[in-house]
Amino acid sequence: CAPLQTVPGSVAVVRTASPYFELDGRLSATDGERAANGQIEWRHAQSTDQWTAYSPLGQIVARLDSNAAGAELMLADGRRQRAASASELLPALIGVDLPLQRLPGWIQASPQADAEVRSLDEVGRPSLVIDQGWRIDYTEYLNPAADALPRRLEISRGDARVRLVIDRWTLQP
Amino acid sequence: ADAIAQLRQFVSVTRSAEGEFEQTVVARSGRKPQQAAGRFAFSRPGKFRWEYELPYQQLLVGDGERLWSWDRDLNQVTVRPIGDALGATPAAILFGQGDLEKDFVLGEGGDSDGLSWVDASPRKAESSFESMRIGLLDGQLKRMELRDNFGQTTLIRFTRLQANPAPDAGRFRFVPPAGADVIGTP
């Protein structure tokens, strides 16, 4: 595998993933054939998640709600779909099947302990993480601080690729 | 009032236009309203340019056959056939064929805010939005309010609208920038 491209002399900064966050951003996802892109909002709490996809005109195109009891996908045309968990429905929303237990850590550039931080940037933040066969490239952070959250990242594996620009982060203290 | 007559006049007289818009999206939940602004142009049927400059750069271009969308930050272009995707959407008011009654039930919405309003609801039940109001003044389109099926309302104010400008074919052509990812069925 690729040699460790850590910026010489940079030490991994300790980062902790927040159990609650809200993000507003823009996402493009493709599995090689289908492609989805648009504005997305994700509210994540300990055991509940809500993803909302918007059209450029700000209309809600789809909403996926999930909690301990199960998950429901609601589309703008009224169609609804239920499932035991959000991971069965997320592909219908963004077109790519992502591991949902790992996603909150990936999105905050605070991967779980068993993930491999392949390279760091000059401030000691992850720039490339490999986890469960997925590659997460952190191409931009919000600001130069060591605990800054990512502004742009790309998650890929084989033909599947999700590119996300995060315009607004809200973390609950 | 006679807002419907004004709308019909606008659709028949304004075969093309260019101008600027401001957009505010108000969510039913307590979420902060989202402001956006940019420029637009259209030439019926099916040709349009909807360019967001704020809060970020995003461009939608209909070249008559395909809908191109480009996001600078994502550095990605998606393209898909327009087909009848335009038909029952709010965009049809601006860029559609002009036979509104085919896709919408129109009703007089009375006068307010100095404008005459048309209430329009899509004929097809499974449309992507619930209802729309179109505000006109002296036969000119001034505002549109779209309510989606989740209680989200988008307000669009046409701060400038120049009807039937000199034609500029390049305006409705889109060439993906070098290095941008192009996804979809061109």
Alpha-carbon distance B154 to nearest alpha carbon in chain A (angstroms): 6
Give the ipTM: 0.83
Instruction: Please name the amino acid found at residue B106.
Output: L
Residue B84: the pLDDT is 61
Q: Distance from CA of residue A83 to its chain's centroid?
A: 21
Verify whether the Cβ–Cβ distance A57 to B184 is below 8 Å: no
Q: Given A56, A78, A152, which is nearest B149 (Cβ)? A: A78
- Reference A167, options A18, A27, A61; nearest CA is A27
Query: pLDDT tens digits for A131-173?
Result: 999 999 999 999 999 999 999 999 999 999 999 999 999 997 5
**3-class DSSP string for chain A:** CCCCCCCCCCCCCCCCCCCCEEEEEEEEEECCCCEEEEEEEEEECCCCEEEEEECCCCCEEEEEEEECCEEEEEECCCCEEEECCHHHCHHHHHCCCCCCCCHHHHHCCCCCCCCEEEEECCCCCEEEEEECCEEEEEEEECCCCCCCCEEEEEEEECCEEEEEEEEEEEECC
Q: Which of B126, B152, B154 sits opposite A77 (nearest CB)?
A: B126
CB contact under 8 A, B71 and A167: no
Best to test chain A binding among B149, B181, B185 (most A CBs inside 10 Å): B149
Which of B146, B181, B183 is facing A57, going by the closest CB pair? Answer: B146
Q: With an 8 Å Cβ cutoff, are B71 and A28 in contact?
A: yes
**Nearest residue in A to B91, CA atom:** A57
Decide: pTM greater than 0.90. no
Q: Which residue of A has its CA nearest to B52?
A: A56
Among partner residues A37, A76, A163, which is closest to B128 by beta-carbon distance? A76
Q: For residue A54, which residues of chain B lie inside 8 Å, CB to CB?
A: 25
CB contacts, 8 Å: B181 with chain A = 28
Confidence of residue A6 (pLDDT cuts 50, 70, 90): low
- Enumerate the residues of chain A whose CB falls inside 8 A of the CB of residue B156: 57
- Residues of chain A with C-beta less than 8 angstroms from the C-beta of B56: 26, 165, 167
Taking residues A105-127, report their average pLDDT. 95
Given a cut of 90, is residue A67 above it in pLDDT? yes
Cβ contacts of A150 on chain B, cutoff 8 Å: none
Q: What is the pLDDT of residue B164?
A: 93
Q: How near does any CA of chain A get to the CA of B40, in Å?
A: 13
Which chain A residue is nearest to residue B122, measuring alpha carbons? A77
- Tell me the per-residue pLDDT of A19-46, one tens digit each, with 9 for 90 and over: 999 999 999 988 877 777 889 999 999 8
B155 touches chain A (CB under 8 A): no
Contact B150 A63 (CB under 8 A): yes
pLDDT tens-place values along chain B, 186 residues long = 699 999 999 999 999 999 999 999 998 776 778 899 999 999 988 899 999 999 999 999 999 889 898 999 998 898 888 876 565 677 777 887 778 888 899 999 999 999 999 999 988 877 778 899 999 999 999 999 999 889 899 999 999 999 999 988 799 999 999 999 888 776
pLDDT at A85: 93
Chain A residue numbers touching B55 (CB-CB < 8 A): 167
Put simply, whether B60 touches A (Cβ < 8 Å) is yes
